[in-house]
Structure 1
Amino acid sequence: MTSVFESALREDFGRLHPRLRRRFGVDGETDQGCVGTGVMNRVWRGAAFTAPFLHVGTLRHVLFPETGTDVPFTIENYAYRDTYDRPTLTFVRTFQVRSHRRRRFDATMVYHPERDVIIDYLGTTQHVAVDLDVSVDSAGGLRIRSGPQTFRGGFGCPAALTGDAEVHEWFDDKAERFRIQVTVTNRRFGPLFGYYGSFTANYIRAGAPVPAAVRPLRENPRG
């Protein structure tokens, strides 16, 4: 099957840095998955009043309130067809925020051909669906910006309850590492959460099983 990002970017997919082209070209046929391991130089959150909102996110593996520097990090991207036969790519990020605590930020991405958009389903039960705008920068890096968000069932998310995400990922040829920067903001309350750092990647051979732990507990049919 064609990878989610190749479907969305079309001819621009070829403009990605070759390392990103392989990473975001995971399709279950060339590579089953890509597992990145590294360190986030900083994980941060907004003002103190954002903490309760971030605590709620931990219930469904979306956001979390802990902060830190030099935080061990993994990201697991696996390709598979979900129960609705849609090509799907997991984005499961794990942060070792303390010696005794890990936090996860889970998402699964599906390309919707009729709407020509990637839909990012957040959390373990895909309770929020977010349209994504994806583009390639002049240096071959990938930029992702979130768009309209809906709750499961098709109800629009009020702006006061949503976070607008911006993701920039690129490959550092000198360091031989992927670099990533993520910022989540609220239109009313400002910065909520973010992180930046770097990682290396290993690829999982095609045909390998997709770990149950990276798949959502429930899937959202909304398109």
Structure 2
Amino acid sequence: MLVTALSAFVRRRGLHLHQSTQNRFIEEVVRQEVKMFPEQALRELIANALVHQDFLATGTSVMIDMYSDRIEISNPGIPPIKVERFIDENRSRNEQLAKLMRIFGICEEKGSGIDKVVSAAEMFQLPAPDFRVGDTRTTAVLFAHQDFADMSKSDRIRACYQHCCLLYVSNQRMSNQALRERFRLSESQAANVSYIIGFTKEAGLIKADESESTSTRYARYLPFWA
């Protein structure tokens, strides 16, 4: 249903929906198709773009750009909160539209849509979604699967920060082990994860939980704003 609705939306906007949003593989002579992007994440991001668009902006609208390795969903307008706080805070630009979409079950009741996007990306072992603010538009980028070895330093830092935020709003704390599990890495790669945590701390995005053990092995981490 979502693919059909998305296709209709794209056609109305005069865009082209590429068929690269599916991965195909053959097992025991039977071809199977595995969705490249989680449906829940797409639904939440599209609903979010519709709810938070600036209707006073002229000559522009919500846009969905699809590529072989990512989907970009953007809306006119600058968000009322910083992108670093998308996971733990929410402020709707169009409250009446948001209320209507909640009644229809299209978007979240408590503003937890971005939490679900990040969680779905982790479950599908995708790079962390990227939220970008330009001069007139806000863009959410959902990436296709990428092996850990191929992720850039910024990709890993963004994933570390988002995972830390996701755990914090669930009343949990991030540890080396928790981040290893997010990246699907073995215990022998704990040192690599420690480097990522260190880089994310240097970027000012996370901090050590002083109420927990100060030992590097058992250290726990919080978002910078906690």
Q: TM-score, normalised by structure 2?
A: 0.25
Normalized per residue, the structure richer in strand is: 1
The structure with the larger Rg is: 2
Higher relative contact order (CA 8 A, sep 6+): 1
Q: Which has the higher helix share?
A: 2
Normalised TM-score (structure 1): 0.25
